[in-house]
Amino acid sequence: MALRSALCASVTCLWMSSQISYYLRRYTKLADWDYIQSAAAAAPGLQLIGNGDIMSFTEYNERVVACPDLATVMFARGALIKPWLFTEVR
């Protein structure tokens, strides 16, 4: 509710385990897509963008299908590792 009242158009959600600080993980933990989907389901009407561990068209498509409450998914680390990833998905 606070995000909607702040006139927030969309929110990006990246959820990883909080067992170790982000800087110590160094990309060893994977994004928790079940949590991202549950956050999207809990906020109907909010444009939630899922983020984390998209490395291929197949993974992109799996996340879009498995998380129907998301507005879309975002490329981050995948685009750094594979700059041509956008042409795969297009």
Length of the chain: 90
Q: How confident is the model over 64-81, as pLDDT tens digits?
A: 999 999 998 888 888 888
- DSSP symbols for 20-80: S-HHHHTT-SPP-HHHHHHHHHTSTTSEEEEES---SHHHHHHHHHH-TTSSEEE-SHHHH
Amino acid identity, position 27: Y
Q: Which two tokens stand for residue 7?
A: 């006139």
**H or E stretch at 5:** helix 2-5
Please give the pLDDT value at position 28. 60
Query: In degrees, to the nearest 5, what angle opens at C-alpha 87 toward C-alphas 25 and 37?
Result: 50
Q: How confident is the model over 11-68, as pLDDT tens digits?
A: 777 666 555 455 555 556 778 889 889 988 988 888 888 988 888 999 999 999 999 9
Please give the pLDDT value at position 7. 66
Domain chopping of the chain, boundaries? 2-89
